[in-house]
């Protein structure tokens, strides 16, 4: 075709233009999605390793797109961030997650819920009040909520982020460092941040049974967390051997496909009832 005969540069620009248009269109659709109830949450359970009780759930956002079906976060989180919609998305997710947590509590399943927050939330001075207001509306104590932040997020505007986190922590909200071990300067900020939990990235957890090096990383992260009075949650446990190894080492909580994939609320309630009835 004629296109094939163009220069590489022309082809590149064309592809980028197409992508730019696609992203703009997606941002417009996402803006409308909030009001249309197209954002839905799936919940992945976390287990206490000493005793097997369900510790809580992590809320993971999905977009039920009218034409394209169920979209996962990697298809739209970047677009939300670059088009300034992330603050709104987080509040929408927080509201859905807290409403669901209230309903579970009323059904006899008091759970802690974890919500992922983005860099734009942590430089927004109104965010702590927004969180407190949402907790009040849903009649939940701050201790029912954990906010997950990533290490890279703390690099952006560190001073403001630390101030926002401190206000959230003072209000009683839990703060987790997500994907722990994959960012920079893992240790420098641990002393200064009001953190309550580390979530060790699945890059280390997934292979710890076969890899003595990764197992050593799990062990030393566990010692560090406990020395600092933090709880350690291992992410990405995909088999029983990994769960057993984590329990032997004294890890606090585990999350991963072996326990359960992220589930829609209707399926999660079934999962909870089945576990409670065992
Ligand atoms: P994350 O916070 O690290 O969430 C865990 C991701 O790992 C989830 O993917 C989950 O399905 C997946 N996972 C859980 N257990 C296992 C396992 O055993 N093995 C493997 N291979 N994977 C496992 P998901 O739902 O596609 O989310 C991807 C990322 O999108 C999240 O990573 C988080 O960074 C972001 N994200 C999701 N929901 C939200 C949200 O509401 N707000 C923000 N800001 N980001 C979100
Ligand atoms: Ca997370
Ligand atoms: Ca993670
Ligand atoms: Ca991640």
Q: What is the 3-state secondary structure (H, E, C) of 163-231?
A: HHHHHHHHCCCEEEEEEECCCCCCCCCCCCCCCCEEEECHHHHCCCCCCHHHHHHHHHHHHHHHHCCCE
Indicate whether residue 46 lines ligand 1 (CB < 6 A): no
Residue 17 pLDDT exceeds 80 = no
Q: Which residue has the higher pLDDT, 14 or 85?
A: 85
pLDDT at position 23 is: 87
Say yes or no: ipTM exceeds 0.90.
yes
Give the CA-trace dihedral at 180, 209, 207, 242, to 10 degrees.
-70
| Contact predicate 173/142, CB 8 Å | yes
Tell me how far apart the alpha carbons of residues 76 and 42 are, in angstroms, rounded to a whole number: 16
Indicate whether residue 119 lines ligand 1 (CB < 6 A): no
Give, for ligand 1, the residue of 41, 44, 47, 73 to mutate: max count of ligand atoms closer than 8 Å to Cβ. Answer: 73
Q: Which residue has the higher pLDDT, 151 or 259?
A: 259
pLDDT band at 126 (very low <50, low <70, confident <90, very high): very high
Least confident of 26-40, 68-82, 178-192, 222-236: 178-192
Indicate which atom in ligand 1 lies nearest the CA of residue 86: 44
**pTM for the predicted model, two decimal places:** 0.93
Q: What is the arithmetic mean of pLDDT over 140-144? A: 98
Indicate whether residue 225 lines ligand 1 (CB < 6 A): no
Tell me how far apart the alpha carbons of residues 150 and 260 are, in angstroms, rounded to a whole number: 23
Q: Whose CA is nearest to atom 17 of ligand 1?
A: 236
Q: What is the number of the ligand closest to the CA of 148?
A: 2
Indicate whether residue 87 lines ligand 1 (CB < 6 A): no
pLDDT band at 15 (very low <50, low <70, confident <90, very high): low
Q: What is the arithmetic mean of pLDDT over 65-94? A: 95
pLDDT at position 52 is: 79
pLDDT at position 7 is: 47
Give the sign of the dihedral formed by CA 122, CA 78, CA 199, CA 188: negative
| Contact predicate 131/95, CB 8 Å | no
Mean pLDDT taken over the chain? 91
pLDDT at position 1 is: 38
Nearest to 222, CA basis, from 249, 244, 192: 249
pLDDT band at 185 (very low <50, low <70, confident <90, very high): low
Please give all residues whose CB falls under 5 A of ion ligand 3, grouped by chain where several chains appear.
178-179, 235
pLDDT at position 278 is: 66
Residue 46: its H or E element: strand 39-48
Tell me how far apart the alpha carbons of residues 167 and 194 are, in angstroms, rounded to a whole number: 9
Q: Whose CA is nearest to atom 9 of ligand 1?
A: 60
CA of 235 to the centre of ligand 3 (A): 7
Tell me how far apart the alpha carbons of residues 132 and 154 are, in angstroms, rounded to a whole number: 22
Main-chain phi, psi angles of 146, to 5 degrees: -120, 135
Q: Which residue has the higher pLDDT, 15 or 238?
A: 238
pLDDT at position 13 is: 56
Residue 3 pLDDT exceeds 50 = no
pLDDT at position 159 is: 87
Instruction: Please compute Rg for the chain using Cα positions.
Output: 20
pLDDT band at 183 (very low <50, low <70, confident <90, very high): confident
Nearest to 160, CA basis, from 199, 126, 115, 196: 126
Indicate whether residue 198 lines ligand 1 (CB < 6 A): no
Give, for ligand 1, the residue of 60, 206, 246 to mutate: max count of ligand atoms closer than 8 Å to Cβ. Answer: 60
* Whole-number Cα distances in Å, 173 to 30, 46, 165, 188, 209: 28, 18, 9, 22, 33
Indicate whether residue 72 lines ligand 1 (CB < 6 A): yes
CA of 177 to the centre of ligand 3 (A): 9
């Amino acid at each position: 075709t004629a296109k094939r005969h163009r220069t590489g540069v022309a082809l590149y620009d064309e592809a980028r233009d197409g992508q730019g248009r696609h992203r703009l269109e997606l941002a417009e659709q996402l803006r409308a999605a909030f009001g249309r109830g197209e954002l839905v949450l799936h919940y992945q359970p976390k287990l206490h390793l000493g005793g097997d009780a369900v510790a809580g759930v992590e809320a993971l956002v999905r977009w039920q797109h009218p034409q394209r079906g169920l979209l996962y976060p990697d298809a739209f989180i970047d677009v939300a961030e670059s088009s300034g919609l992330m603050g709104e998305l987080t509040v929408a997710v927080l509201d859905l997650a807290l409403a669901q947590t209230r309903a579970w509590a009323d059904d006899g399943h008091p759970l802690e819920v974890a919500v992922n927050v983005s860099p734009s939330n942590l430089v927004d001075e109104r965010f702590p009040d927004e969180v407190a207001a949402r907790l009040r509306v849903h009649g939940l104590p701050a201790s029912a909520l954990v906010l997950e932040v990533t290490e890279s997020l703390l690099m952006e505007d560190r001073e403001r982020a630390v101030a926002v986190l401190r206000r959230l922590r003072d209000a009683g909200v839990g703060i987790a460092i997500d994907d722990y071990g994959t960012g920079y300067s893992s240790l420098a900020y641990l002393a200064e941040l009001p953190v309550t939990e580390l979530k060790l990235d699945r890059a280390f957890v997934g292979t710890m049974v076969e890899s003595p090096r990764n197992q050593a990383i799990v062990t030393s992260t566990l010692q560090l967390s406990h020395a600092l009075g933090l709880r350690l949650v291992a992410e990405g446990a995909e088999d029983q051997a990994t769960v057993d190894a984590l329990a032997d080492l004294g890890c606090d909580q585990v999350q991963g496909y072996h326990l359960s994939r992220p589930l829609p609320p209707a399926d999660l309630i079934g999962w909870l009832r089945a576990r409670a009835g065992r």
